[in-house]
Structure 1
Amino acid sequence: MTQRLFVAVVPPPAVREAWDAFLEPRRDTGTDLRWVVPESWHVTLAFMGRVADRAGDDLDEALAAVAARTTPFTVGVAGGGAFPDPEAAKVLWLGVTEGARELGELAVRCRNAATRCGIEVDGGRFRPHVTVARANGQRVLRWLQVLDAIERQPWQVERFRLVRSQLLPGGAGYQTVGEYDLT
Structure 2
Amino acid sequence: MANTIRTFVALPVSDAVSEFLKQIQERLRSSRTNIRWVPATNIHLTLKFLGDIDLSTLPATRAQMDAVTRSIAPFTLTAKGAGVFPNLRQARVLWVGLTGDIDQLGLLQNTIESEFVSLGFKRDRRPFRAHLTIGRTRQRPDPKVLGALLEPLKDASSEPFRIDQIRLYQSVLKPSGAEYKMLHAAPLAAGTRMKI
Scaled by the length of structure 1, what TM-score is found?
Answer: 0.90
C-alpha separation between the residues in 2 aligned to 1:165 and 1:179?
15
C-alpha separation between the residues in 2 aligned to 1:141 and 1:17?
23
Determine helix, strand or coil for the equivalent of 2:160.
Answer: strand
Partner of 2:148 in structure 1? 142
The Cα offsets for residues 77-133 of structure 1, whole Å up to 9 and x where unpaired, read as: 211121111111110001112222211111111222322112345562110100011
Partner of 1:170 in structure 2? 176
Partner of 2:132 in structure 1? 130
Structure 1 contact 47–123 (Cα < 8 Å) conserved:
no
Structure 1 contact 63–180 (Cα < 8 Å) conserved:
yes
Structure 1 unmatched ranges of 5 or more: none
The Cα offsets for residues 40-98 of structure 1, whole Å up to 9 and x where unpaired, read as: 11111101112122111101000011111110011122111211111111100011122
Structure 2 contact 20–158 (Cα < 8 Å) conserved:
no
Determine helix, strand or coil for the equivalent of 1:20.
Answer: helix
C-alpha separation between the residues in 1 aligned to 2:55 and 2:125?
21
- 2:100 aligned to which of 80, 98, 101: 98
Alignment of 1:78-89 (within 5 A): 78-89=80-91
* Same amino acid, percent of matched pairs: 31
Partner of 2:8 in structure 1? 6
Scaled by the length of structure 2, what TM-score is found?
Answer: 0.85
Structure 2 contact 113–124 (Cα < 8 Å) conserved:
no
C-alpha separation between the residues in 2 aligned to 1:4 and 1:121?
17
Partner of 1:112 in structure 2? 114
Structure 2 unmatched ranges of 5 or more: 190-196
Structure having the larger proportion of residues in strand = 1
RMSD in angstroms over aligned alpha carbons? 1.9
